[in-house]
Amino acid sequence: MSRSSIQTLTISGQDVVKNGSQNSSEDAKALLKPSTPSKKPPKPENSITIAVSSRVLFNMDKEQQIFEQQGMEEYIKYQVAHETEPFSPGPAFSFVKALEAVNTQLRDLYPESEELFDVVLITNNHAYVGLRLINTINHHQLFIERFCMTGGNSPIGYLKAYNTNLYLSSDPIKVREALEEGIAAATMFTPEKMTEVSETQLRVAFDGDAVLFSDESEQIYKAHGLDKFFEHEKAHENKPLDHGPLKGFLEVLGKLQKKFYAKGQRMDCPIRTYLVTARSAASSGARALKTLRSWGLEIDEALFLAGAPKGPILEKIRPHIFFDDQMFHVEGAAEMGTVACHVPYGIAQRVPERKGLNDKEVSSIK
């Protein structure tokens, strides 16, 4: 498209690009809501950094299709031509809004503290596409000040520089790369119909083995069967499990929860955590709970399902996000409307599973 037909406007302190010349300011104002009032982002060393890819924060399916079928140049042209059209929310959107709601309450209780969630947009999009992302963030009144746009290169190398506590992407290859670097990460999927979630309480649900805990017990089950697994867990009941890839994220959630508890808000804390595990309470649940206790971590609710499907339970919990290492459980959760994330860690990843959802390992703009 011709750049001569584009003019730059400023709305709420942000540059906005609008095609054409007639009534540009009024049209742009109609399209874009005012940006979130300016707040100073916390220093990275003090914050809990959540890195999200553009394709999990927003719905970019149409744009991704153009990229895959027509290539980068046509993709960039399309994005520039639609700069003032905000993307619709993606699967991580409600999670990010819940993080911001927690921050609002933390700022009220601890005005000088920088111990807050800090959302960073991590994408291998070209910087030329960044304006549409900024316009969309302003439209939805999100508070996201930190961007990393790598122009087609993998953004994984920047995650440590941002002190990332959790990385969410729709690309399973990048997620595996992050996990290999010791960064908590998960592949996020989009349910066909997302369940409504709380706007005032952040709810996070975790599987146990190979998510919060290591996969050592799962290795026993895979190699020797269920009976040997039960025997092993009973014999090692008082030996804590080693940590899994998401333990650190549960730790930072617990640290923030204690700040609310200190202000007398244990019963109405805006953060709630759940353990949703296929373990049986009587035969293998004790070790899981004792492990959490040995780490000094609390979990608000523990649900031992003894192999029953997780989807119906998660439908009742209505978490903003659920982490599991097995695609069977991720798919079951998504079918019931839960935003579920796959953690590709441990022995279960070496056992063939059926492909599902949008688990396609293709090059993409994230």
* Strand bridging mode 340-342 / 185-188: antiparallel
User: What is the reported pLDDT for 202?
Assistant: 98
Helix (H, G, I), strand (E, B) or coil at 106: helix
Q: Is residue 215 annotated as part of the catalytic site, yes or no? A: no
Q: What is the pLDDT of residue 157?
A: 87
Confirm whether 48-187 and 202-346 share one CATH topology. Answer: yes
Instruction: List, for the chain, all residue ranges whose pLDDT scores fall below the cut of 50.
Output: 1-37, 351-366
**Of 118, 171, 207, 325, which one is the catalytic site residue?**
207
Within 8 A by CB and 6+ apart from 91, the residues are 56, 188, 189, 190, 191, 194, 339
CATH of 48-187, one of 3.40.30, 2.60.40, 3.40.50, 3.30.70: 3.40.50
The confidence score (pLDDT) of residue 44 equals 81
pLDDT of residue 350: 66
pLDDT digit string, tens, across residues 194-233: 999 999 999 999 999 999 999 988 888 888 888 888 898 8
pTM for this entry: 0.84
**What is the SS3 assignment for 315?**
helix
C-alpha to C-alpha distances, 336 to 88, 113, 193, 300, 319, nearest whole angstrom: 21, 38, 8, 22, 12
Quote the pLDDT of residue 25: 39
Give the span between the Cα atoms of 261 and 267, in whole angstroms: 8
Cβ(342)–Cβ(209) below 8 Å = no
Class of domain 202-346 (CATH, top level)? alpha beta
- Structural domain boundaries in the chain: 48-187, 202-346
